[in-house]
Amino acid sequence: MSPKPASPALRRRSSRSLPATFLAVLLLLLAAAATWIGITRITTGAWPPFLAALRQYLASLAWNNPAVWAAAIILTLIGLILLLTAILPGKHNTARIKGPEGADEHFAETAMSRRGVARLAAAHVDQTDGVDASSVKATAKKVDIHVRTPLHEPGNLQEQLTGSLTRKLQDVGLNPVPKVSVRVRTTT
């Protein structure tokens, strides 16, 4: 079997960078605070004064105190959310494009960024006759477009746009071709 390629795949699931950054910063701040508390105790010989008040408050709490209930429920929810964030795959970060004829899957990989698909769709829609303004949201599997038109009777503008855009995405070679959904609104 050939060894694993050194390059990462272009088409990956979300790397969960945002929650990881948030957690890392939080841990860093907590660690800094704890280090400061520890060093204060070592240098001055006494724990910082606010800790005594905190300990007295905590000592007065029984297990069935509402504050403990709230803390326990919040911890459970946060733990569940983090676990789901780690396990669920998340969206693809790019859309696959079919490669040149006769090229092996492992040899040639082609993709387009989600923003690229959105821009392509937006440009195509904006150039269509009868379209005033458009807003596009694109993922690897779906393209949602909202169109504003000055025409009184949009007629079959919606079918026309859906058809032509699907053809354009097929020509670009997106595989699978994203499902195009167009919504038309008249401005007059």
Partner 1 sequence: MRQTAGRLNRTWLAVIGLVTLVLGIAGILLASGTAGTLAQSSGAGIQAPQPADPALPEGVRDVFAPDIAAVILAVLAVLVGVLALLWLLAQIPRRNQARALRLHGNDGATGYTTCEPKVLTKAVEEETGALSGVTGATALLRGSAAEPELTIDVRVDDRADVQEILEKIHTRVASNLETALETPLRKVAVLFNVTSHRQNDREVVL
- List alpha helices for 127-181, DSSP H: 157-172
- Residue 58 binding partner 1, by CB under 8 A: yes
Among 16, 92, 146, 148, which residue sits at the site for partner 1 (rule: CB under 8 A)?
A: 16
Among 53, 152, 153, 171, which residue sits at the site for partner 1 (rule: CB under 8 A)?
A: 171
SS3 59: helix
Angle between helices 157-172 and 114-126 (to 10 degrees): 130
Query: How far, in Å, CA of 159 to CA of 182, rounded?
Result: 8
- Residue 154 binding partner 1, by CB under 8 A: no
Select from 128-136, 155-163, 168-176, 178-186 the region that touches partner 1 (CB under 8 A): 168-176
- Residue 27 binding partner 1, by CB under 8 A: yes
Touching partner 1, residues 81-140 (CB under 8 A): 81-87, 94, 97, 99-100, 103, 106-113, 115-117, 119-120, 122-124
Nearer to partner 1, 107 or 188 (CB): 107
SS3 146: strand
Give min distance, CB of 134 to partner 1, in A: 13
Give min distance, CB of 147 to partner 1, in A: 17
What torsion do the CA atoms of 138, 141, 147, 152 make, to the nearest 10 degrees?
Answer: 180
Among 53, 64, 185, 186, which residue sits at the site for partner 1 (rule: CB under 8 A)?
A: 64
98-134: burial string, b at 16+ Cβ within 10 Å, e else: eeeeeeeeeeebbbbebeebbebbbebbeeeeebeeb
Strand partners, 146: 135, 183
Count of residues that interact with partner 1, criterion CB under 8 A: 82
Query: How far, in Å, CA of 70 to CA of 64, rounded?
Result: 10
Give min distance, CB of 94 to partner 1, in A: 7
- Residue 75 binding partner 1, by CB under 8 A: yes
- Residue 35 binding partner 1, by CB under 8 A: yes
- Residue 37 binding partner 1, by CB under 8 A: yes
Question: Contact 168/120 with Cβ under 8 angstroms?
Answer: yes
